[in-house]
C-alpha cells in the first residue's frame, strides 16, 4: 500500500476527465482500507470505485482511496441455486462473464455495464428488464464511523429505480466491500421481453436463447448504441428517465402525440429522457471536444480533453431546455464532484 501525491485521475474515471488528486492510494483488502481511513494526516478522503458514474469538475484536494478488493467465491449452493460473493473491486462485466462461464444465470441482461461490483448496489444498476436488486442477497459494508463491518440485506438497501439507501440517507456513511448474489444453476429464468433483445435474438437467428446468447444479444445492442468508454469518454446514461404523473403525461401527449412511456404504477409513468433530449435537438450535437452521443441522446461524451465543467454546463443547458419545452425536470444520474 503506497500513498502517491499529485496523481491524474484520468485513468480512473470513464469520462476520461483529467483532474488531479492531491493524494491517491489503492487498497486491496478491508484491513488496508481500515488502516487508510484511520490516517489522521489526510482529513479529507474520497472513495473511488470503478469511476463509471461520476463527473469530475475540479481537482480533488483529498486522499482518493481506490477500492481495489478482488475475489469471487461460491459461498454455498443447492440443486437449483448458488450464492456467489464478489469483492467490491471486481469489474462488473468480468464478473458477469465469470457467472456465464459457470452457467450461473441472473446477471446476463446486465452484461457490459461499466463499473465495479462494489458500486453496483449504490444506484441499483439495471438494463433490459433486469435490475441488480432482482439477484442481490446482501452486501457487507464498512461503517465509516465505527470502522466495523455490517451487513445490509436486500430489503435494508431500499432499492428503487437507479436508487438505494446508499444514495439517500446512508450516503457517505459506508463503503461497500463485497456483494452476495443468488443465481440459478439450471432452469434459468430468461428475461427476453425487452423489445430490443427480442429483435436482436432474431437478427442472430436464435430461437432457443440461453443465458450466454442473451448476454451476446445485450452486448451487441449496447455496442451498437452506447460508446465504449475506452474509445470515447462517457458515463453511460447521464440522466435518469423522469417519472411523471399520468395526468401530466396526458397533457404532454396532447402536445406530443408520439411521446413514448413505460408504466411505473397506477398513478405514474416513466418517460425516456433520451426521447426528450432528441426532440429538443441535442442528439449528436458537438461542442468542440464534448457533446451528446449521436446514437443515444442520454449519453454525454468527452471526445478527448474536455473539462468536467464544460460537460456540466451542457447538462444544465439540456435540463433547462427540457423543462422549458416539456415542463419536465430531468435529474442527473451521475454523481457530480
DSSP 106-153: S-GGGTT--SBGGGTTTTT-EETTEEGGGTEEEEEEEETTT--EEEEE
Told to judge if 237 belongs to the known catalytic residues of this protein, a careful annotator would answer: yes
User: Alpha-carbon distance 211 to 201, whole Å?
Assistant: 12
Choose between 272 and 307: whose C-beta lies nearer to ligand EPU.
272
Q: Does 241 bind ligand EPU (CB under 6 A)?
A: yes
Q: Tell me the H-state helices in the chain.
A: 30-37, 92-101, 195-203, 211-225, 246-255, 273-279, 308-326
Active-site annotation holder among 162, 213, 215, 261: 162
Nearest approach in angstroms of CB 211 to ligand EPU is 17
By beta-carbon proximity to ligand EPU, the closer residue of 26 and 234 is 234
Kindly identify the residues of this chain, within the stretch 296-335, that bind ligand EPU according to CB under 6 A: 296-298, 333
Cell of 152: 445490509
The 10 Å Cβ neighbour count of residue 93 is 19
> How far, in Å, CA of 190 to CA of 201, rounded?
13
Sign of CA dihedral 39, 22, 123, 244: positive
Residues in 176-205 at the binding interface with ligand EPU, rule: CB under 6 A? 196
Out of 12, 152, 159, 275, which residue is the one contacting ligand EPU (CB under 6 A)?
A: 275
Site string for ligand EPU, 99-128 (x = CB under 6 A): ----------------------------xx
Least Cβ distance, residue 143 to ligand EPU (angstroms): 28
Contact between 214 and ligand EPU per CB under 6 A: no
Q: Is 240 among the residues that bind ligand EPU (CB under 6 A)?
A: yes
Q: Which is nearer to ligand EPU, 92 or 181 (CB)?
A: 92
**Cα dist. 161→1, 106, 130, 178, 243 in Å?**
37, 18, 11, 21, 10
Taking the complex as a whole, the smallest distance from the CB of residue 282 to ligand EPU amounts, in Å, to: 9
Segment near ligand EPU (CB under 6 A); pick from 9-17, 132-140, 267-275, 303-311: 267-275
Q: Are 64 and 24 spatial neighbours (Cβ–Cβ below 8 Å)?
A: yes
The size of the interface with ligand EPU (CB under 6 A), counted in residues, is 19
Nearest-angstrom CA–CA distance, 33 and 62: 16
Q: Which residues here bind ligand EPU, judged by CB under 6 A?
A: 127-128, 196, 225-226, 236-237, 240-241, 260, 272, 274-275, 278, 283, 296-298, 333
Catalytic residues: 162, 237, 333
Amino acid at each position: 500500500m503506497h500513498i502517491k501525491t499529485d496523481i491524474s485521475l484520468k485513468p480512473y474515471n470513464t469520462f476520461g476527465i483529467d483532474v488531479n488528486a492531491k493524494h491517491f492510494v489503492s487498497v486491496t483488502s478491508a484491513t488496508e482500507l481500515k488502516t487508510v481511513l484511520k490516517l489522521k494526516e489526510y482529513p479529507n478522503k474520497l472513495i473511488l470505485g470503478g469511476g463509471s458514474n461520476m463527473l469530475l469538475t475540479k481537482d480533488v484536494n483529498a486522499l482518493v482511496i481506490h477500492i481495489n478488493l478482488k475475489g469471487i467465491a461460491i459461498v454455498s449452493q443447492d440443486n437449483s441455486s448458488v450464492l456467489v460473493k464478489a469483492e467490491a473491486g471486481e469489474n462488473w462485466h468480468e464478473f458477469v462473464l465469470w457467472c456465464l462461464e459457470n452457467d450461473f444465470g441472473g446477471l446476463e441482461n446486465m452484461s457490459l455495464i461499466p463499473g465495479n461490483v462494489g458500486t453496483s448496489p449504490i444506484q441499483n444498476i439495471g438494463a433490459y428488464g433486469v435490475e441488480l436488486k432482482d439477484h442481490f442477497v446482501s452486501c457487507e459494508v464498512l461503517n465509516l464511523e465505527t470502522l466495523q463491518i455490517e451487513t445490509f440485506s436486500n430489503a435494508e438497501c431500499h432499492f428503487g429505480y437507479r436508487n438505494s439507501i446508499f444514495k439517500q440517507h446512508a450516503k457517505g456513511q459506508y463503503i461497500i466491500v463485497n456483494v452476495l448474489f443468488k443465481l440459478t444453476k439450471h432452469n434459468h429464468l430468461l428475461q427476453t421481453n425487452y423489445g430490443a433483445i427480442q429483435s436482436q435474438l432474431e437478427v442472430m437467428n436464435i430461437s432457443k436463447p440461453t443465458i450466454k446468447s442473451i448476454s451476446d444479444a445485450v452486448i451487441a445492442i449496447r455496442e451498437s448504441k452506447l460508446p465504449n468508454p475506452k474509445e470515447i469518454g462517457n458515463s453511460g446514461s447521464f440522466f435518469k428517465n423522469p417519472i411523471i404523473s399520468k395526468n401530466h403525461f396526458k397533457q404532454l401527449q396532447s402536445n406530443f402525440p408520439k411521446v413514448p412511456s413505460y408504466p411505473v404504477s397506477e398513478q405514474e409513468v416513466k418517460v425516456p429522457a433520451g426521447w426528450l433530449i432528441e426532440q429538443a435537438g441535442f442528439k449528436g450535437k458537438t461542442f468542440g471536444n464534448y457533446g451528446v452521443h449521436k446514437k443515444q441522446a442520454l449519453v454525454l461524451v468527452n471526445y478527448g480533453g474536455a473539462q468536467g465543467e464544460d460537460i456540466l454546463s451542457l447538462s444544465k443547458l439540456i435540463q433547462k431546455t427540457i423543462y422549458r419545452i416539456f415542463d419536465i425536470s430531468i435529474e442527473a444520474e451521475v454523481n457530480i464532484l
